[in-house]
Structure 1
Amino acid sequence: MEAVKKGTTIQSLQVGMSIVELIAQQGKPLKFSDIHDLTKITKSNLYKYLNTFTQLGILYRDKESGSYVLGSKLIEYGMAAADQENVVDRISPYLQEINEKSSSTVIYSLWTNNGPMIVKEFNANQGYNIGAQMGTLLPLLSATGKVFAAFMDDQVVHEWKEKELKQISEEKVKQFEEECTFIHEKEIAFAREPLVPSVSSAAFPVFNYKKRLLGVVTIVGFSDIIPHSEEEELSKYLMDMSKEISGSFGYLPHAK
């Protein structure tokens, strides 16, 4: 087969992917008019792109608001690209057990170029808003974000960390750095109401046998039932589950 010449591209595909990337970067649902204002693509062509991506599952259009967000197909692609070990299927029984034990929503997140993304959710109570759902990108100061910041290769997370740290006070930056030291030692992180009032979280890493971070498990619920220190019984349970789940991938915490 003849090699593809460097620089040979399909312009319409580039334009289409630039629309998807724009929606991803905005981090919020966008209406047709918003996308049109940002892209300056003619309305007739923009409609064709959005309609095609929606049919393919690349984008999702809310029927009530008409707003567009990233679709479930992108999450599937991201999961496949992020890790070929089929981690989600393997740990799902653990997530369900933690869900039942903690009476809280349990989420599993993977790293993406734009930060940690939720790819699996077990919700104990569909009636309240935890401030996140499948496909949500989580901030640095969430329990999930702290674990990724603590254990991911710094070259991978550097740009994301720098961008996030610029948005918080010096006092919170110092507190975050101290927490990272704690997280390295205890392998658990806590966040009090990072996204929604009265809703807090606790998270732990999932490692493989090389202590490479595969993802992060997080419990999310009302602040009065989510632990805030490693001394609490639920925290001890989570740290035990962390060892058990990572152990299933060959990780030995005390191995030299």
Structure 2
Amino acid sequence: MSEELEGKHGVQSLEVGMGILKAMATGKRSMMLKDIAASAEMPPSKAHRYLVSLIRSGLVEQDPLTSRYNLGPFALNLGLVALDRLDRIRLGLSAITDLRDAVNETTALAVWSDNGPVIVRWERPRRPITVNVVTGTTLGVLGSAIGRVFAAWLPERQTEALIRRELESGKAPLGVHTMEDARSLLAGVKARGVSVISGDYVIRGVEAVAAPVFNFKNEITLVIVLVGVEGSMDMRDDGPTLTELRQAAAALSARLGAPSESAG
């Protein structure tokens, strides 16, 4: 068999398997083999062979008492991950727009990448003097409010290499020289629940405050940040600015399925 035919055969097999999954996803909660075969428009013997492989992969499971088939744990996990990735940016954009309207400051949304935090959306306030944020900008870990929030809640194995690089290159904030210094800084961020930087930001004359957003697995998935001209924002913990930010992050976390202890 030629490589081209082998490739086509492999794709066809995947499509058959996906047809079975689609039949199960649009059918009843649990289905008999004959019902799955009829919905997928194939003989029961053929459907059974595919179901065996789908069970091994975790995409399908079979009840040993009733012999009925249902979507398996891996299928559920795929759906939840897809939901998280699909909806989080759309919901995040709505959240930072509403927050911008509430506090009249520049708001932005960031995700984590292999190179550190990246700005994916931002909203301009309705005031004559504003701070612009460039979409696609990759920020430092220790020197930015967004980076500190991600590093405070992400596992250290995901951030350590970037942090050590900043320490070695002299890009860390004043007073932060070692990993222990960095851990102490991040512990303070986590204890406060937000990261506030004023007077020592990466851009002179700018200040920022950022808060974490969690997903259904109670993992940090986004960061919301407010950015303004230095001295323009009320940075008190109990002030309206930080209150609005915390509420926005908590509400978005709740929309993404985070446990109440994270979203609240």
Q: Which amino acid letter does the alignment assign opposite residue 194 of structure 2?
A: I
Q: Does 2:91 correspond to 1:99?
A: no
Quote the residue 1:177 is aligned against. 183
**Mean Cα deviation higher: 170-179 or 113-122:** 170-179
* Gapped regions of structure 2 (runs ≥ 5): 8-81
- 2-side partners of 1:129 and 1:242: how far apart? 22
Q: CA deviation at 1:93?
A: 1.8
Quote the residue 1:195 is aligned against. 202
Quote the residue 2:139 is aligned against. 138
**Mean Cα deviation higher: 215-224 or 168-177:** 168-177
- 2-side partners of 1:128 and 1:213: how far apart? 32
Q: Which amino acid letter does the alignment assign opposite residue 158 of structure 2?
A: V
* Gapped regions of structure 1 (runs ≥ 5): 4-80
- 2-side partners of 1:188 and 1:155: how far apart? 21
How many residues align? The count is: 178
Q: CA deviation at 1:92?
A: 1.8
Quote the residue 2:158 is aligned against. 156
TM-score using structure 2 length: 0.60
- Quick check: which one's helix share is greater? 2
Q: SS of the counterpart of 2:209? A: strand
Q: Which amino acid letter does the alignment assign opposite residue 188 of structure 2?
A: F
TM-score using structure 1 length: 0.61
Pairwise CA RMSD of aligned residues?
2.7
Q: Which amino acid letter does the alignment assign opposite residue 197 of structure 1?
A: R
Q: CA deviation at 1:251?
A: 1.4
Does the 8 Å CA contact 1:206/1:217 hold for their aligned counterparts?
A: yes
- 2-side partners of 1:177 and 1:121: how far apart? 29
Q: SS of the counterpart of 1:124? A: coil
Q: Which amino acid letter does the alignment assign opposite residue 96 of structure 1?
A: T
Quote the residue 1:123 is aligned against. 124
Identity, in percent, stands at: 20
Q: SS of the counterpart of 1:172? A: coil
Q: 1:237 to 1:206 in 2, by over 3 A?
A: same
Residue-by-residue CA offset, 1:174-225 (whole Å, 9 max, x unaligned) = 6653332232233211112513222100000110122111111101011222
Highest CA radius of gyration, 1 or 2?
Answer: 2
Q: Which amino acid letter does the alignment assign opposite residue 163 of structure 1?
A: R
Quote the residue 2:87 is aligned against. 86
Does the 8 Å CA contact 2:124/2:132 hold for their aligned counterparts?
A: no
Does the 8 Å CA contact 1:191/1:228 hold for their aligned counterparts?
A: no
Quote the residue 2:261 is aligned against. 254
- 2-side partners of 1:186 and 1:199: how far apart? 21
- 1-side partners of 2:106 and 2:245: how far apart? 14
- 1-side partners of 2:132 and 2:97: how far apart? 20
